[in-house]
């Protein structure tokens, strides 16, 4: 029997994920030489190469590709063993790794954490902000317990719990405040400021305006909703933002905020987690508490 350690599996999984020894070593909180030694030892035990060295990024051999799939299954199962024990505690104790998308985090994270710590004072909260695709990858890989995203995500292995709905509002220069409110068709003819590719909110804005993401347009992009609002204040164009962003992002900009005519664009914010997660009952309860707090 080959005596492979969980530590080696973790190191190899990080290396496969990052494709770079330096970044993988940083992720694992060890030195790059130490990581290289561990990978050599693992390959020596197997009697075969897992990594094609010399290229940047590094590539896995065919054995490495198959091996990392099994390694991730084992690591996820190990995490779930610990979660089984944690699930027996009420209230929930220990580490909770949760992701949250950038168009929600600045406006919702503080209240979410307060609700969680009030409900479960013993929780060690580990928030992670990233775009939806990245959060889903980390959920499926067992590196997150749950994530707060815009629904639906339509991933068969994930459970979805809606928290609340919110509408989008139009932000335009202050001098346009008395102009008629444009509808989705009129917005297509205006200079629409959007988030960078990868943000689901960008896709939702394009969908409302019935603009194809591949359609050639004079689009201007920003890295955050706050940046887009400041661009509007400078007279560069108009943008859509979720209601929750209005109090924080529009106060320092010379802009006008107005509701669009029906049917208004909106989104559903919710929590998602793996259906196999032993903490499912606790996460469902957390979602119910947060949902109730947003209705009051």
Identify whether residues 66 and 99 lie together within a single domain: no
The whole model's pTM is what?
Answer: 0.77
Cβ atoms within 10 Å of 89's Cβ, excluding its own: 12
CA 143 to CA 266: how far, in whole Å? Answer: 30
Residues 231 and 265 reside in one and the same domain: yes
Residue range 136-194, pLDDT digits in tens = 999 988 889 999 999 999 899 999 999 999 999 999 999 999 999 998 888 888 889 99
Summarize the confidence of residues 4-20 as an average pLDDT. 88
Provide the token pair at 62: 């065919």
Q: Which two tokens stand for residue 69?
A: 């799939």
**What is the total count of domains within the chain?**
2
What pLDDT is attached to residue 121?
A: 84
Q: Which of 184, 185, 188 is nearest to 217 (CA)?
A: 188
Indicate whether 189 and 266 sit together in one domain: yes
Indicate whether 57 and 180 sit together in one domain. no
Could you tell me if 172 and 279 lie in one domain?
yes
| Average pLDDT over every residue of 264-282 | 92
pLDDT (tens digit per residue) in 218-259:
667 888 999 999 999 999 999 999 999 999 999 889 999 999
Residue where one domain finishes, among candidates 28, 52, 84: 84
pLDDT in tens, 87-141: 666 667 788 899 999 999 999 999 889 888 888 888 889 999 999 999 999 998 8
DSSP secondary structure code for residue 138 in this structure: H
What CATH number is attached to the domain comprising 183? Answer: 3.40.190.290
- Mean pLDDT of the 39-44 span: 89
pLDDT given at position 213: 62
Query: Does 39 share its domain with 179?
Result: no
Q: Greater confidence, 249 or 2?
A: 249
Specify whether 277 is located in the same domain as 250.
Answer: yes
Q: 187 and 157: one domain?
A: yes
In this prediction, residues 28-48 reach a mean pLDDT of: 89
Same domain, 270 and 137: yes
Residues 236, 215 within the same domain: yes
Range of the domain at 37: 6-84
Reply yes or no on whether the pLDDT at 74 is more than 90.
no
Please tell me whether residues 17 and 112 are part of one structural domain.
no
Residue 129 has a pLDDT of: 96
The answer to whether the beta carbons of residues 19 and 12 sit under 8 Å apart is: no
Q: Among 39-48, 64-73, 112-121, 128-137, which range has the highest average pLDDT?
A: 128-137
Place of tokens 């992002």: 249
Tell me the residue length of the chain: 296
**18: in domain:** yes
Say what the pLDDT of residue 216 is: 47
- Can you give the pLDDT at residue 108? 92
Both 13 and 118 in a single domain?
Answer: no
Last residue of one domain, picked from the residues 17, 49, 84:
84
Domain termination site, one of 84, 108, 141: 84
CA distance 255 to 53: 54
1 within a domain of the structure (yes/no): no
């Amino acid at each position: 029997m080959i005596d492979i350690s969980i530590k080696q599996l973790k190191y190899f999984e990080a290396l496969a994920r990052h494709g770079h020894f330096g970044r993988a070593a940083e992720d694992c909180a060890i030195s790059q030489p130490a990581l290289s030694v561990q990978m050599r030892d693992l390959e020596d035990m197997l009697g075969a190469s897992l990594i094609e060295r010399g290229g940047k990024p590094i590539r896995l051999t065919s054995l490495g590709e198959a091996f990392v799939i099994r390694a991730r299954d084992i690591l996820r199962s190990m995490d779930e063993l610990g979660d089984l024990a944690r699930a027996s505690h009420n209230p929930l104790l220990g580490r909770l790794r949760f992701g949250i998308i950038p168009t929600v985090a600045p406006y919702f994270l503080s209240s979410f954490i307060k609700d969680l710590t009030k409900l479960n004072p013993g929780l060690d909260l580990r928030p992670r902000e990233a775009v939806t695709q990245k959060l889903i990858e980390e959920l499926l890989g067992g590196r997150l317990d749950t994530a707060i995203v815009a629904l639906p995500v339509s991933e068969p292995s994930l459970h979805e719990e809606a928290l609340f709905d919110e509408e989008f509002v139009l932000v335009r220069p202050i001098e346009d405040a008395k102009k008629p409110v444009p509808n989705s068709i009129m917005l297509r003819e205006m200079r629409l400021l959007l988030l960078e590719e990868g943000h689901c909110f960008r896709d939702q804005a394009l969908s409302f305006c019935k603009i194809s993401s591949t359609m050639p347009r004079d689009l201007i992009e920003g890295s955050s909703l706050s940046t887009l609002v400041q661009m509007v204040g400078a007279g560069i164009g108009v943008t859509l933002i979720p209601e929750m962003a209005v109090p924080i992002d529009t106060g320092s900009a010379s802009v006008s905020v107005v509701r669009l005519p029906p049917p208004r664009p909106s989104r559903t914010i919710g929590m998602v987690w793996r259906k196999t997660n032993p903490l499912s009952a606790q996460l469902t309860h957390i979602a119910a508490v947060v949902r109730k707090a947003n209705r009051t």
